[in-house]
Structure 1
Amino acid sequence: MNKADIEQFYTKWQANLPQRIEGYIYNENRKILPTRFMFAKFKKVIEKFLNDELPETEKIVLMPGIRGIGKSTLLAQTYAIEKFLKPKDRNLLDNIGKLDEKLYLDVSQLRADQISLNDFFNFYEEVKGFSFEKPQKKILLLLDEAHFDENWGLFLKTIFDRTKGHKDILVIATGSSALQIKMIPDLGRRTDIWEIFPMKFNEYLILKYAKYPVSGLSGYLRDALFNSSNAAEVFERLKIKSLEIRKFFIESVLPNTERNFFESGSFPSAIRIENKQKAVEKIKSVIDGIIAKDIITLQRFKTQTIAKIGDLLYLLAQSDLISYSKLKDALKIERVETLESLIEVLVMSGVLIRVKTYGKTYGSTRKTPKLLFVTPSIRSAVLNNIYLTGIEGKKLEDYFALIYLKDLQSHGRYAVNLSYDLAESGADFVLTRRDRSNIVIEVGFNKEETRQVENTLKKTGGKYGLVFGSKELELVSDSIIKIPLRFLLMI
């Protein structure tokens, strides 16, 4: 690559960067935008970096996650981190001056100018007068959309190897999904992977309305619901917070806020769009981007197979449970293995969540796994917010699966598995905790019925059952609690 072309790109990029960063961190009234909960993790890793406390495996951070959930914004906020520090960040405030250099780079722009990451950083080392082996200064590299470079995995591996023996380089890179990471051998063990998920309701309230739930409430509810010994303990712990939650919803949550959240509120890129149809189209564009930029580039499927992804998502969105054989026939896909591969790619790309049946008696995953969306906003967009009778409750199943991935399974804090009872009268979920005990869970709107939970509790020998969606908090029996949806939304 011609060095003059790289220099021209770099000069132009640096000149336009302040405006680009401001577009991410300010709203139209020049008011600084709130951060997602995840931003606290960024502050922590930079603090460790500046204090020379960063382990070898954390010097390269990869941030996979589906498109439109704010990864670029998180990087921009990290670049401008000084604007987001508060008095409680005293240690970071005292040490931020140790950061000698920082670079924010959109790799898709490099790709557009036909410049590779390797060529760019050869140039960057030369003009900045350092080498990755011995930088002798603290350098923060923020790489957005790193996967646009076809050799990005090899580039990061090379950086990892070249920076052995010192703690002066920190790289944070975003990718469109976990798909590419899982396709590159050995990359995972050389990097710290922070998967970025769609927003939950409490984050939506902060970013959309600047309404902050009570500090510590989410963690308290999570522990009470999923780490108690029995139903009575859950009930007593929830009762302590019941008035506080009711007061918050009365004073801070506008009418229809929950409905609006389920329709489009999981995506930061869509929450500021007031027109509902335009918000739906924004989320559909995310899905189209995943198909066009993530799945097609794998070159694993024929064009006519890829063309069926939209129909596949629609069938899944409007169905409760649907077998692979019925899906295959409806989509006119010849081989069930092709359908399985297509679903696997959608799971790996972060669009779908596969929930297996409970127990060994049901056999393999082909025996009707429950295929949920990573956020109810995707299901709503696929259906244009038009739900058939009996299907609208599926958005709550999507939402609980998101909570499982984001809060319960993460680092094995509370649970190690999520399954469901295939029986017609079975419950929505069986949550297996770290001690291998089970909690049975049912979710729904205006949900007062407990029969499904009772049936699955008998089958699984579960510790207790939670029924989310009731009007009031109620201890139904020594093993079942009915809980208003507000408690789930505040996790």
Structure 2
Amino acid sequence: MDNEFKINYLLNILKTTPKVVSDRIIKDQTRLNFRKDYYDLKESIDNFLEHDTDDRFYILPGLRGVGKTTIVFQLYDYLTNERNINSNHILYLDLDRLKDQGPFNLLEYLDIFIKDINEEAYLNNWPLFIFIDESQYSSNWDHVGKIIFDDYKNVFIIFTGSDALNLQSSMDSARRSLKKEIYPLNFAEYLYLKYGCEIPRGISDSIFNAILFNDFENLIKDERYIQLNVYNKFKRDINKIWDEYIQYGGFPLSFARKNHASIIQLGLDMKNRIVEKDLDIVLSVNSQTRLNTYSLINILALQKPGTLSYNKLAKNLEISKKTVGNLLNALECTQMIFHIEPHGAITKRNRRPWKYYFLSSQMKAAIYQNSGQATKTKGEYMGILTENLVGSLLFMMKNKRKQDFGIFYEEEKERADFLINTIDGRIIPIEAGYGKKGKRQVINSMEDHGSEYGIVVSNKTQSIKIEENVIFLPLKTFSML
């Protein structure tokens, strides 16, 4: 493609982006609410505009549908409408669309945007902004980001894409960039984004301190505030709203869907896009491998939480154990799933089977319901989703906070679902359940490990209850982690 085509392509993008952004972030003449991730990035943009800072190269990986593009569009809107940045100084480039034009050199497009289309800004060192979406479709996006960062001090750049961006990052880009994972919504974000409910900003910190340090004072205050000022304002039963959240509320894109069938289809579509597009980035995939991947995902979604036998999976799928391992690893790289290892010495963890969970309970629910399995009994179905949700929130807590603790499971029966192993050697058992849930499993794990306290996360109670050394934490409260 010659330079004239590239210039015209970029000029057309600059012309059409304002309407694309408006259509995406304004619904019924009201702008969408903001996630905390937006405010974090906005603060970095403000620092870039007002101070001399090197925090101007960001990578936003994450599962499809979690709202990365919406955050970028909200930043675009902030720049144009509140910071009065000329829209021609902001490039939003979707590489999923650009790749349809044929092979492309990303650096050439960005050089043209900076030095040709915005020559005056380039010469005068005026701020420019580049937002690259679906970055995984450029094999050298990280190298391009490094060059832009090094050569153009007046450019603030964000790359978003699937979690495969983590694999493509080089040491050079890692030294220069800041990574911010974007995750499925917790219950607090769901209530705020969908219903405009004001949730105490420190709620996640309160839950974290309660779990890790047995400090429940602030959490009890936050929970009481939410019950009085949020839950009581709903005409509907808040428990039913939570039931909808765990099944249909993990992805902001779901909010625009009018019925559950449409939301289920959205979850299935995202699953299919991961298999059809993202998988190719981390694994050599042929048609048979892709079919095996679909079968494996269904097995993961339909089973009760538990360990997976590679031998059994290999036999059922008629593939080798090595291929099973490669597929599971690839799905983890896309962040569709994650694993939890058995508690014990590292040699034991490497020998024993792992438990696998979906990062989004919504995606698991979509596959589960599409198979007709969800009609068996509500208790069993919701119990499966609840354990998945608790596991995923703990996993996200660890990654978002960059905390040095482990999440494990116990192989012995009648034990807690999860064990938190802190850096100072404390073991915190956590049991997850829906419906009537006792404390026997947690007590057994506490006795095994000499734990000072344990936690039962369930809908058995509507408020935090403490019985001796066992804390009953309501699902609604824990889901705001």
The two structures share one fold, judged by TM-score above 0.5: yes
Is the Cα contact below 8 Å between 2:62 and 2:182 reproduced in 1? Answer: yes
Q: Once the 2 structures are TM-superposed, how far is the Cα of residue 398 of structure 1 from its aligned partner?
A: 2.3
Structure-2 separation of matches of 1:460 and 1:302: 47
Does residue 487 in structure 1 map to residue 477 in structure 2?
Answer: yes
Aligned to 1:90: none
Aligned to 2:461: 471
Is the Cα contact below 8 Å between 1:146 and 1:173 reproduced in 2? Answer: yes
One-letter amino acid matched to 1:300: S
Aligned to 1:423: 412
Aligned to 1:403: 393
Q: Once the 2 structures are TM-superposed, how far is the Cα of residue 147 of structure 1 from its aligned partner?
A: 2.0
Structure-1 separation of matches of 2:57 and 2:38: 17
Is the Cα contact below 8 Å between 1:263 and 1:377 reproduced in 2? Answer: yes
Structure-1 separation of matches of 2:85 and 2:346: 60
Q: Which of 97, 119, 132 pairs up with 1:129?
A: 119
Unmatched runs of 5 consecutive residues or more in structure 1: 86-92
Structure-2 separation of matches of 1:361 and 1:402: 22
Structure-2 separation of matches of 1:353 and 1:474: 31
Matches within 5 A, 1:299-318: 299-318=283-302
TM-superposition CA deviations, 1:319-365 (whole Å, max 9, x none): 221322222222111x2111111101111111001111111287134
Q: Which of 125, 150, 154 pairs up with 2:139?
A: 150
Q: Once the 2 structures are TM-superposed, how far is the Cα of residue 297 of structure 1 from its aligned partner?
A: 4.2
Q: Once the 2 structures are TM-superposed, how far is the Cα of residue 83 of structure 1 from its aligned partner?
A: 7.6
TM-superposition CA deviations, 1:62-101 (whole Å, max 9, x none): 100111111111111111115886xxxxxxx6xx779993
One-letter amino acid matched to 2:118: K
One-letter amino acid matched to 2:23: G
Matches within 5 A, 1:34-433: 34-55=33-54, 58-82=55-79, 101-114=89-102, 115-124=104-113, 125-129=115-119, 136-163=125-152, 167-177=153-163, 179-186=164-171, 187-228=173-214, 234=216, 238-247=219-228, 248-252=230-234, 254-255=236-237, 256-319=240-303, 320-321=305-306, 322-333=308-319, 335-360=320-345, 363-365=348-350, 367-384=352-369, 386-387=373-374, 390-413=380-403, 416-433=405-422
User: Sequence identity, in percent?
Assistant: 23
Structure-2 separation of matches of 1:65 and 1:199: 12
Structure-2 separation of matches of 1:59 and 1:361: 39
Does residue 439 in structure 1 map to residue 437 in structure 2?
Answer: no
TM-superposition CA deviations, 1:200-226 (whole Å, max 9, x none): 111111222222223433322332333
Aligned to 2:25: 25
One-letter amino acid matched to 2:323: T
Is the Cα contact below 8 Å between 1:50 and 1:99 reproduced in 2? Answer: no
The DSSP-based 3-state class of the residue aligned with 2:182 is coil
Q: Once the 2 structures are TM-superposed, how far is the Cα of residue 488 of structure 1 from its aligned partner?
A: 0.8
Aligned to 1:5: 5
Q: Once the 2 structures are TM-superposed, how far is the Cα of residue 36 of structure 1 from its aligned partner?
A: 1.5
Is the Cα contact below 8 Å between 2:339 and 2:356 reproduced in 1? Answer: yes
Structure-2 separation of matches of 1:42 and 1:184: 20
Structure-2 separation of matches of 1:427 and 1:142: 44
* Cα 1:99–1:19 shift into 2, 3 Å: closer
Q: Which of 441, 445, 449 pairs up with 1:460?
A: 449
Is the Cα contact below 8 Å between 1:33 and 1:207 reproduced in 2? Answer: yes
Is the Cα contact below 8 Å between 2:80 and 2:87 reproduced in 1? Answer: no
TM-superposition CA deviations, 1:173-229 (whole Å, max 9, x none): 11122x23313432333321111101111111122222222343332233233323x
Structure-2 separation of matches of 1:43 and 1:158: 23
* Cα 1:362–1:3 shift into 2, 3 Å: closer
Query: Which stretch has the larger CA shift, 236-245 or 418-427?
Result: 236-245
TM-superposition CA deviations, 1:31-89 (whole Å, max 9, x none): 1111122111111111221233423xx3210100111111111111111115886xxxx
Q: Once the 2 structures are TM-superposed, how far is the Cα of residue 257 of structure 1 from its aligned partner?
A: 0.9
* Cα 1:424–1:170 shift into 2, 3 Å: same
The DSSP-based 3-state class of the residue aligned with 1:468 is strand
Is the Cα contact below 8 Å between 2:79 and 2:85 reproduced in 1? Answer: no
Is the Cα contact below 8 Å between 1:70 and 1:267 reproduced in 2? Answer: yes
Unmatched runs of 5 consecutive residues or more in structure 2: none
Q: Which has the higher helix share?
A: 2
Is the Cα contact below 8 Å between 2:14 and 2:88 reproduced in 1? Answer: no
Q: Once the 2 structures are TM-superposed, how far is the Cα of residue 241 of structure 1 from its aligned partner?
A: 4.3
Aligned to 1:89: none
Structure-2 separation of matches of 1:24 and 1:283: 19
How many residues are matched?
Answer: 466
Structure-2 separation of matches of 1:98 and 1:8: 19
The DSSP-based 3-state class of the residue aligned with 1:174 is strand
The DSSP-based 3-state class of the residue aligned with 2:416 is coil
Q: Once the 2 structures are TM-superposed, how far is the Cα of residue 237 of structure 1 from its aligned partner?
A: 5.1
The DSSP-based 3-state class of the residue aligned with 2:16 is helix
* Cα 1:135–1:66 shift into 2, 3 Å: farther
Structure-2 separation of matches of 1:21 and 1:481: 45
TM-score w.r.t. the length of structure 2 is: 0.89
Is the Cα contact below 8 Å between 1:351 and 1:373 reproduced in 2? Answer: yes
TM-score w.r.t. the length of structure 1 is: 0.87
One-letter amino acid matched to 2:212: F
The DSSP-based 3-state class of the residue aligned with 2:30 is coil
Structure-2 separation of matches of 1:460 and 1:147: 44
TM-superposition CA deviations, 1:104-149 (whole Å, max 9, x none): 22222322223431221232212322697x7622222111112222
Structure-2 separation of matches of 1:253 and 1:47: 40
